[in-house]
A = this chain, B = another copy of it.
Amino acid sequence: MRSAWLLPEHIADVLPAQAQRIEALRRCLLDRARSYGYELVIPPLLEHLDALLSGTGHELDLSTFKLVDQLSGQMLGLRADTTPQAARIDAHLLNRQGITRLCYCGPVLHTRPTGLAATREPLQFGAEIFGHEGLEADLEVAELALDCLRAARVPRLVIDLADARVLRGVLAGVPMDAEGLQDVARALSSKDAPALAALCSGLPAETRAALQSLLRLYGGVEVLAAARDLLPDRPLIRSALDQLGWLGGRLQAADASLRVAFDLSDMSGYAYYSGVRFGIFAAGCSDTLARGGRYDEVGAVFGRSRPAVGFSLDLKSLSEVTPPAAPVSAVLAPWGDDPALLAAVQALRTGGDVVVCTLPGSRAGSTEEAAAWRADRELVQHEGAWCVRPLKTLSTH
């Protein structure tokens, strides 16, 4: 029989040491977004299913937990992504004419894990800018995402830039149903040349050659020049390549140590993004730490289609690649009702110290078990006054 304390697969408690890291990261990233003028919103975990899924594609549907609202009898969903909610808030609730910058931080739930070690309950942090068509918004969002990962002290950042319009340009005028398109996108994303060849057998030779060449268009800025040679000269492709070049150049100029890469066959989120898309990771790690891009159509279903660019990341995953925080130094205080003692404890706490009261009868040293703080000082009465002194350790090892 399953024990009562066993959690569902891919669901875990976050214990004190990691929780402290996540909380520190949470504050650091929210403060970073705020310093760029992004306003915090807290959308609900539960929404009507159709609102949660509108305009987001089949993949999000499959990841969304569904349940029935006993108040209304309607289908509700637990959010698997906060981005459509931010778009709904921009379109309907705020309904501003100018540019709106929003950020959020809260849990999302997935019916299935996205990988072998993935959690089904990421703590999603993200930021979105609405109302600006120009690439400057794409740049600001990518800079903010990089800035957040730098603030989290992730070493050796790499940003991968991609753009689904390149594929749309290559396939322009080629009759293909939605399913076929999805198969092609999947073969490209997994760099599966034989599968791609099989899927393209009926296509014009020029299209076939262009699709096969996409598989090799991965690397530094030289990829863009190669793409101009290898791909058909069409406005959609030209404009995507120009934008990728401009963004990559600006990001590189702002940070010479950043590795900027281009991957023209990366189709993740193909149905969702309408412009340049990026993924950021630490060199040598395959897990993408942050993803973002332009998705101008998401707000349409809420009655107001606005230009939108954003990014998001999972704070739980991020906390695993950032340096651990040292336990906080704490003061042990005796338990008592001496007003002077209580005042001394209060003053230390208000000043930012952790003060742990030793409750009567509790085992000496038992407080040493805490993971989030380590007692290294104690509050003692000396010549009638309460003062802090270094803690004499009980053991010498």
Contact = CB atoms under 8 A, between A and B. Distances in A.
Nearest to A70: B111
A37 B356 contact: yes
Given A37-B330, A37-B355, A44 B7 contact: yes
Contact of A35 (B46, B112, B342, B349): B349
A197 interface: no
B15 A93 contact: yes
Interface in A32-63: 32, 34-37, 39-48, 50-51, 54
B71 A13 contact: no
A42 B21 CA distance: 11
> So how many copies of this chain end up in the complex?
2
Nearest to A50: B4
Interface stretch (A228-236, A364-372, A389-397): A364-372
- 4 closest residue pairs by CB, A with B: A98-B366, A37-B356, A14-B42, A16-B39
Interface of A: 2-16, 19-20, 22-23, 27, 30, 32, 34-37, 39-48, 50-51, 54, 65-67, 69-72, 74, 76, 78, 85, 88-89, 91-94, 96-102, 106-107, 109, 111-112, 120-121, 123, 131-132, 134, 136-137, 140, 250, 253-254, 301-303, 328, 330, 335, 337, 342, 349-350, 352-357, 359-363, 365-373
21 contacts: A5-B51, A8-B76, A11-B44, A11-B46, A14-B42, A14-B43, A16-B39, A16-B102, A23-B40, A35-B352, A36-B349, A37-B357, A39-B372, A45-B107, A46-B121, A96-B369, A100-B369, A106-B107, A107-B107, A136-B357, A136-B360
